[in-house]
Structure 1
Amino acid sequence: MLILLPPSEGKAAGGDGGPVNVTALAAPKLAPVRKRVLTAVTRTARGDAAVAAEALKLPPAVADEALAANRAAATSPTLPALDRYTGVVYAALDPATLSPVGRAAAEESVLVFSGLFGVVAGGDRVPAYRVPVASVLPELGALTPVWRAALREVLPVLVGKGFAVDLRSTDYAGMWAPTGPLRHQVLPVRLLTKRPSGPPRVVSYPSKHGKGLLARELVERAGKGAAAGSVDDVGEAAAALGWDVEVRYAQGSVPALDVIMPPWVPVS
């Protein structure tokens, strides 16, 4: 089982590992592209700050810190990806409190899509950086087509004959789309929120939070020897969290899963 996740823009600082080794990350065949992207990012970050911030789609409030991290990305200390990413998805996944078997399953089964590295496994060591896949770099152009071309052959090998739960956001789903038989092996899952009126819909924060909780449930089950291998298994995991599930079918009887969560009540 694989769980496909987006990265988070928020990342923990520091690290206790040496500089990133792009060949040691998941899918080592991506190393040449990773080196090109990493070089282009660091050069961009070392240039004119305004040009770099625009190219990397950096909000003004975080631009200085993000550019500093990107300038040092090739040489700065590393952390496991599960510990590096700190956004809403990963806060809900809460890797620090996973059981030992759940953590081991997460390190192997979580596959994070990344604007800087293409894909990394949960246990792969990565530096602090901020490189949205929507970035358009002076040396390389738009990153999405760069990674789409590179991942076209790599992802089918990673998925193999197994099963994957796709919890990516739209930008990162654009990096790779399963084709042929893989469409039956990669299950897209939407996290929807009930509303007082009208049908459930995707609401950004609760959807991200729900993805993290569902990923946590799936890796804990995998750690106990019950890795998801079908839409029914994922539906069972969602139902265990108290959520409703609905299966949809696209052309060719390809399944997709809608997970419907209770109305979101913001914490004051």
Structure 2
Amino acid sequence: MELMRLGEPGQERPVAKEGEKYFDLRGITADIDGGFLANDGIAKAREAVKAGLPEVEDAASLRIGAPVARPGAVLCIGQNYAAHAAESGDAPPSVPILFFKHPNTVVGAFDHVVIPPGAEKVDWEVELAVVIGKRASYLESPEKALDYVAGYAVSNDVSERAFQVEHSGGQWSKGKCCPTFNPLGPALVPADEVGDPQQLRLRSAVNGETRQDSNTSDMIFSVAYIIWHLSQYLVLEPGDIINTGTPQGVAISGKFPYLREGDRMEISIEKLGRQEQKLVSYTKQ
């Protein structure tokens, strides 16, 4: 089973996908959010699907929204693959590097990504997203950390490198927080259906040409370690998203051109699906 949200922005309906069928979850929840996840929502959705729910007959024609509504926080781990750190010109970090994205960066897996005014260095980053399922604070060890995961999703940590580095003032978030800079999904896949999060192939392409092709086994800090580590400094709440870092093969390496209007990014992770976005220029509303 996968959890999805289908419909236009602000009007998404919660859906459970089982095989090729889509089931309407509005009988058990108004949305897929932190409250739903904290209250055994995934187990309840499974039970409801088995008991019988109405199918969403027009699912194929509906926009795919982000699979988690209104995340309270989007926490990101920088340079968590050694080869990516090297291509950025830095030594591998000795502790996880934390930065934040504004939650309103999160959009659907196939929504357009908007190039902000003045941007010259827009970059792609395929990442494994962890969705927190229950409150995590001061965990005793990494061994129990995965118990706090609701599921996983594909994330594209879009970045504007000039904003991130040259305009930063020492922090990275200016280059990470532009609207639409975090396509998420297409689905939230429950943790028990994914298995080991350190054995997933992840890939990206631009205009059909491969950019990244790696595996989460190459992470410097594992998903479990990241959750445990973060819990020593902040409280992780249900519905929070953790972007766990990107492998080598991004534009900041100098090996590839930065993104331009009309380019298309394709992002995928084994067991979690694929997403695709077109780059469009900002238009004043």
Q: TM-score range by the shorter chain?
A: under 0.3
Q: TM-score, normalised by structure 1?
A: 0.27
Comparing both structures, which one devotes a greater share of its residues to helix? 1
Which structure shows the higher strand fraction? Answer: 2
